[in-house]
Amino acid sequence: MTQAQERYDDIIIGAGSAGAVIAARLSEDPKRRVLLLEAGPDYTRVEDMPRDLLKPWVSWRDHDWGFQANARHGREFPLHRGKVMGGSSAVNGTIALRGVPGDFESWVDLGCDEWGFADVLPYYRRLESDPEGGDFHGQSGPVPIEREPSENWQPLQRAFYDACIGGGFEDVWDHNLPDATGVGPWPRNRSNGNRISTNIAYLLGIRDRENLTIRHGVLVDRLSFDGESGARVNGVVLSDGEVISGERVCVSAGSAVSPAILLRNGIGPAEKLSPHGIAQRVPLPGVGENLIDHFGTGVQAFPKPEVAHDPDVVTEIGVRYTAPGSDQFNDMQLAISTIWDEEQVRGLTEAPRQHPSFGIGAVIQRPYSRGSVTLRSTDPSEQPQLDMNYASHPEDLRRLMDGARLCWEVMHSDAIMPFVERVIAPRASVMESDNALADYIRRTTSTTWHICGTAKMGPSTDPLAVTDQRGRVHQTENLRVADASIMPDIVSCNTNLTAIMIGERVAESLLGE
């Protein structure tokens, strides 16, 4: 890694699921000078990484932005985002799912005709190393994919599988086949028991490239432009005032921070800018709009004291299914989470924060509800305002009510009940009343940390489109956004693998210019 250079060909803001990929791919061209900026800490060897970055449950304590979000009507909860090299890929639950063909048909319907399933499949395959998956999967990509063999499933996970099979769900070994639906082991970005982030997969082996500069612990304040009112980007300005010049800038700071960076630079709707005294540079009303997340509810219980449990592995098995009455394939997930740590229960339910506990949750994968991101101030160290607007659409509420009743049924199945000491939330009476259940869902529905869509791509005729299909910000020059924020609609699965895929695809586009 070289020392800072006077001017770079490409500056990437954010070394997360997409940004690390883009820096790695662009720096394969030795003629390109690439700068990767990350606000969090950097770990350059696996041996030096803290345990919480390697073990496959969510790491929240030391590598988190500390954001709070408004679920709805002022109810706040922690919205964890990775603040570390590798971003949220370094702290997530390691579930490595692809979107299904119907997800990308919706992208095409929204004007992104270069993002059909046949278009994105090669990039999913490029990132994967999934030799168990057969020819439909990549065999030699940087991200290893593995599934827990059934003989290793923990008792509660095995019981959940048995309950779901008994309830009529099909057995699924590979959830990443396009038509797979039912219950089986989650594919996970793990190797030898460790979480494989984009830092490990893409960056650790290329740190000696002469044309790649990686800087950590730096916070980007704003972009640098040609002229006071121009829209041609020529670099970035850090929070300490340092100016770094670049031919192109790619914002890959995530679905909360990327729109905030654009807004601080006057790119967005006037009503979001004027309260902070920001002059509008580019009138793009979609910046910060279209905030989408997977949100859910469920049933929580205390297990019997003798139940065996590995605290590092909480989600081995899961269900992808279509909600009754829905026309969207695999628009729901059902999973058991053996969360035996009070910190990891925070925000999931309003049950007592005691442990040990476990939950069976239903999570809506194709919601209609939309939220927004706005600025709280022009200070880059202050978090943006995140309004999630969960379950505001009646169809979302209907599907979650159905999902909550399914969770209750599975929790009380013959397979699971022998492990249960006491169900702690909700009360049985809640399940007997539509009004009570709807109220429970509104009070407890929370995140699975899959926010996206806040700088959606689409044609310039779409009033909410922020970028074109290559991530180029409309009405600007030399500026891209490339991360989960450009998804025009959410995929019906955990979003991390799709964010990495976006990084692969945008990087190829940049290399072609």
CA dist 322 and 302 (Å) reads 29
Question: Among residues 291, 285, 266, which one has the least CA distance to residue 466?
Answer: 285
Per-residue pLDDT averaged across 475-499, rounded?
98
pLDDT of 340 strictly over 70: no
pLDDT of 105 strictly over 90: yes
Q: Is residue 24 part of a domain?
A: no
Could you tell me if 380 and 221 are in contact, meaning their C-beta atoms sit under 8 angstroms apart? yes
Name the residue type at position 285: P
Among this protein's residues, is 216 annotated catalytic?
no
Range of the domain at 155: 94-193+291-447
pLDDT tens string 119-175:
999 999 999 999 888 889 999 999 999 999 999 999 999 999 999 999 999 999 999
Q: CA dihedral defined by 109, 115, 120, 123, rounded to 10 degrees?
A: -160
Q: Which residues contact 135 (CB under 8 A, 6 or more apart)?
A: none
Q: Is residue 508 part of a domain?
A: no
Q: Which strands, in side-by-side order, build the sheet including 68-72?
A: 75-78, 68-72, 385-387, 372-374
pLDDT band, very low/low/confident/very high, at 193 (cuts 50, 70, 90): confident
Per-residue pLDDT averaged across 357-367, rounded?
93
Q: Is residue 103 part of a domain?
A: yes
pLDDT tens string 30-49:
999 999 999 999 999 999 99
Q: Is residue 233 part of a domain?
A: no
Q: Is residue 173 part of a domain?
A: yes
pLDDT band, very low/low/confident/very high, at 350 (cuts 50, 70, 90): very low
Q: What is the per-residue pLDDT for 498?
A: 98
pLDDT of 341 strictly over 70: no
Question: Among residues 293, 493, 484, 491, which one has the least CA distance to residue 393?
Answer: 293
Q: What is the per-residue pLDDT for 479?
A: 98
Q: What is the per-residue pLDDT for 339?
A: 65
Cβ burial, residue 124 (10 Å; 0-12/13-18/19+): buried
CA end-to-end span of the chain, whole Å? 24
Q: Is residue 20 part of a domain?
A: no
Identify which has the larger pLDDT, 344 or 508.
Answer: 508
pLDDT tens string 78-93:
898 999 999 999 999 8
CA dist 428 and 485 (Å) reads 39
Q: pLDDT averaged over the chain?
A: 92
Q: Tokens 């979003």 label which residue?
A: 495
User: Where residue 155 sits, what CATH number does that domain have?
Assistant: 3.30.560.10
Q: What is the per-residue pLDDT for 4?
A: 44
Look at the chain and report how many structural domains it folds into.
1
pLDDT band, very low/low/confident/very high, at 60 (cuts 50, 70, 90): low
Q: Is residue 164 part of a domain?
A: yes
Q: Is residue 408 part of a domain?
A: yes
Per-residue pLDDT averaged across 46-63, rounded?
82
Identify which has the larger pLDDT, 382 or 61.
Answer: 382
DSSP bridge partners of 446 = 296
pLDDT tens string 238-253:
999 999 999 999 999 9
Catalytic residue among 63, 294, 450, 474: 450
Q: What is the per-residue pLDDT for 52?
A: 86
